[in-house]
Structure formats: C-alpha cells, structure tokens
C-alpha cells in the first residue's frame, strides 16, 4: 500500500506541477475544450502503468477561467483557475480521499525560475494547427534539469508570464513532463470550440480537506495508509 501511495504522490505532484502552467491561465475569446492523448516513458513501475490505464487529460477554457482535468484509475485531479484574480485551486479525489490545494498566483515564489527556451525553425501539424517547435530547459526545485520538446501555436490564447513554460510565445499542443524518472508525453488530439457551462468552474466548498501544498497532502495520505496497514506496509 505504501508503494501505491508513493506512486500516486509522484503522479499528483507531477500533474499538479504543470496544472499551473501558462495554458491553465490562458485568457482570451476562445471557449471550448482541448483533449490530449498521453504516452508514458522512462522508469514506469508496473503499478504506475496499471494506474495510468484509461487516463484522460482535458483543458476547458472560457474567458479568464480554465479547468485542467486529469482522470486516472486511482482518482481524479482538477485545477480550476481564474486569470483575473490569479487564483487556482487543485481539487483531488484520490484513493477515497478528497482534498484541495489552493494556489495564490499573486505571490511570487523565489524558487520559480523561467526556463531557457530555444526556438527552432521546424513545424508540425497538431490537432489541425500548424505548430512551431521550441525546446525548453526546465530546472526542478531539486536542481534536476531536463529539456522538453514543445510544439505550440499562437492561434490560441496564451499567457507568457505564467507557469512551467514561462515566456513561451504560444499555447502548447504537444509537450512532455518528467518526474522522478517518469516521462509523460502529451499531444492534443482535438481542439473543439463549444459552449462550456459555468458549473465546471465552481469550486466545492464542503467535503474536501484543505492543504497548503500537494506534498503536505501526500505526506498525510502516506501516514494514513501506514496506520491502516498497521505499519510500513508495501
């Protein structure tokens, strides 16, 4: 059980990390949903591979608001953001536990550093959009650096001043993220302009325990799993 919680921790922290990226705050007139496919690489444990089966990743946008939604076998992570207030809430329902992590975008984190972005000349078509190629070298809080290939479009609203790819001059339709030896590759399969109901951006006010960070929430989950198993169960 302890190993399962650790894997869930890696996934939640990893997805939470890019849930607050520039597209999560993308303002503009586009209203609709972007649906991504996901592929996994690197050191993926069998437990994680099983948990990732049937995963879905979608981004809903409407004006200044957005909803980044990731569902997988063990639960669901939703990040609701409001560009006008720079506030975000990550809502998690994982392994029977419900919790929220609030993020105040008005407070600058000294650990957040803009990536080194290199713009290349080649292009490719993703979900019907001609996308330009960029390589972003990102350094994690632990000092680990990795380079991510991104294909982005300036035909969708984006915000250059936010997130993991801060400074990127477009909306990423193909990108990757890495976390503790695991790689996850995202490619938009569809960009659909449609009416998005306001109910998708409503933050629940009851039934969720509030934490200051994903790490704090996962530590609490690990403690709970150890108690329920009677020790340091696997």
Of 61, 81, 83, the residue nearest 193 (C-alpha): 61
pLDDT of the residue at 21 = 44
Distance of CA 221 to the CA centre of its chain: 20
Joined together, the tokens standing for residue 181 give 């030896």
Distances (CA, A) of 63 to 41, 60, 129, 198, 200: 34, 10, 21, 11, 13
Counting every residue written for the chain, the total comes to 234
Distance in angstroms (rounded) separating the CA atoms of residues 42 and 25: 29
Residue 126 lies in a domain: yes
Please report where in the chains the tokens 């039934």 appear, as a residue. 207
pLDDT at 76 exceeding the cut of 70: yes
Q: Is 231 helix (H, G, I), strand (E, B) or coil?
A: coil
pLDDT of the residue at 121 = 95
Host domain of residue 97:
2-229
Per-residue confidence band for 15, with pLDDT thresholds at 50, 70 and 90: low
Query: Strand 209-211 vs strand 97-104: parallel, antiparallel, or unpaired?
Result: parallel
- Quote the mean pLDDT of the chain: 77
Per-residue confidence band for 129, with pLDDT thresholds at 50, 70 and 90: very high
Give the DSSP H or E segment for 126.
strand 116-126
Residue 81 lies in a domain: yes
Distance in angstroms (rounded) separating the CA atoms of residues 210 and 218: 12
pLDDT at 34 exceeding the cut of 90: yes
pLDDT of the residue at 227 = 52
Overall domain count for the chain: 1
Residue 85 lies in a domain: yes
Residue 234 lies in a domain: no
Task: Please report, for the domain that includes residue 126, its CATH number.
Answer: 2.50.20.10
Residue 22 lies in a domain: yes
pLDDT at 132 exceeding the cut of 70: yes
Interval 148-172: pLDDT, tens: 889 999 888 776 655 667 788 888 8
pLDDT of the residue at 103 = 80
Q: Which residue has the higher pLDDT, 224 or 139?
A: 139
Residue 75 lies in a domain: yes
pLDDT at 13 exceeding the cut of 70: no
Per-residue confidence band for 134, with pLDDT thresholds at 50, 70 and 90: very high
DSSP states along 79-117: EEEETTTTEEEEEEEETTEEEEEEEETTSPPTT----EE
pLDDT of the residue at 20 = 41
Interval 89-104: pLDDT, tens: 888 887 778 889 888 7
State the SS3 of 189-225: EEEEECCCCHHHHCCCCCCCEEECCHHHHHHHHHHHH
Residue 190 lies in a domain: yes
With contact defined as beta carbons under 8 Å apart, do 162 and 87 qualify?
A: no
pLDDT of the residue at 44 = 66
């Amino acid at each position: 059980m302890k190993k399962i919680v650790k894997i869930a921790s890696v996934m939640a922290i990893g997805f939470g990390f890019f849930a607050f990226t520039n597209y999560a705050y993308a303002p503009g007139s586009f209203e609709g949903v972007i649906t991504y496919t996901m592929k996994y690489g690197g050191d993926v444990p069998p437990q994680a591979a099983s948990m990732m089966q049937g995963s879905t990743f979608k981004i809903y946008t409407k004006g200044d608001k957005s909803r980044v939604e990731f569902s997988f076998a063990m639960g669901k992570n939703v990040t609701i953001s409001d560009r006008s207030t720079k506030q975000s809430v990550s809502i998690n329902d994982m392994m029977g536990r419900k919790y929220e992590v609030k993020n105040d975008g008005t407070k600058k984190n000294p650990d957040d550093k803009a990536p080194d972005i290199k713009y290349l000349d080649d292009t490719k078509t993703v979900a019907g959009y001609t996308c330009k190629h960029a390589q972003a070298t990102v350094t994690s809080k632990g000092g680990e650096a990795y380079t991510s290939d991104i294909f982005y479009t300036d035909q969708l609203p984006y915000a250059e001043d936010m997130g993991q790819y801060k400074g990127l001059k477009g909306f990423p339709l193909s990108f990757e993220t890495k976390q503790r030896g695991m790689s996850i590759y995202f490619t938009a399969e569809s960009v659909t302009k449609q009416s998005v109901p306001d109910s998708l951006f409503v933050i629940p006010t009851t039934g969720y325990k509030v934490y200051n960070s994903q790490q704090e929430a996962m530590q609490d989950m690990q403690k709970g799993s150890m108690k329920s198993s009677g020790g340091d169960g696997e």
